[in-house]
Amino acid sequence: MFSIIQAAGWPIWPLVACSILALALIIERFLSLKTAKIAPPRLLDEALAVSRNSVPSPDVVAQLEQNSALGEVLASGFRALNSDPRCTEADLRASMESTGRKVAHRLERYLTALATIASAAPLLGLLGTVIGMIEIFGSQSPTGGTTGGNPAQLAHGISVALYNTAFGLIVAIPALIFWRYFRARVDEYLLTLELASERFARHLNHLRIRA
């Protein structure tokens, strides 16, 4: 592997850095976007059950907030009702929407960086290709013929051009695939959070009216 990097020349080092960064981002997103950390399937039903007759205690609300991203959104509704039992339905929804926007921003973290790598890697590969072509032309004789050229420099220029092109695509294609995968996964989570928040806001409004 190191011999390939040597043959590709210095233009490949930015691509190596991009590949390491992309791999780190992909692993981080896989760990952060687990369903258990974002929207546990039974959490909404449990929150509805525990608040069937009244708002739960602050300890229960704090535990719910630390459970997951969905728990943060639901807990914000509880906190709004605890702080002002006479708050309007609009106030409840505003509190939950504000927390939801913070959660959405956290879910989308690093996706822009991954998309940038997917877009920039082919361009970096193209840069290496151009540099390789410059070295190829530099190996030719001043008269334009190839008899006076430097074969070693010619071979090195071809290596730089081909290796950088290939490595740029090798970095860009997986980065693009994972970016689209994480983008779709985040959108699915956001829809789940939105639907759960809507149902929970109606429940809290009924609870407020009964109180």
| 5-62 pLDDT tens trace | 666 677 788 999 999 999 999 999 999 999 999 999 999 999 999 988 888 888 999 9
Q: Which residues of the chain have pLDDT under 50?
A: 145-147
Using alpha carbons, select from 178, 183, 129 the residue that is nearest to residue 21: 178
pLDDT of residue 147: 47
Which amino acid is residue 194, in one-letter code? E
pLDDT of residue 146: 47
pLDDT of residue 72: 95
pTM of the model: 0.84
pLDDT of residue 102: 95
Cα-to-chain-centroid distance, residue 52: 37
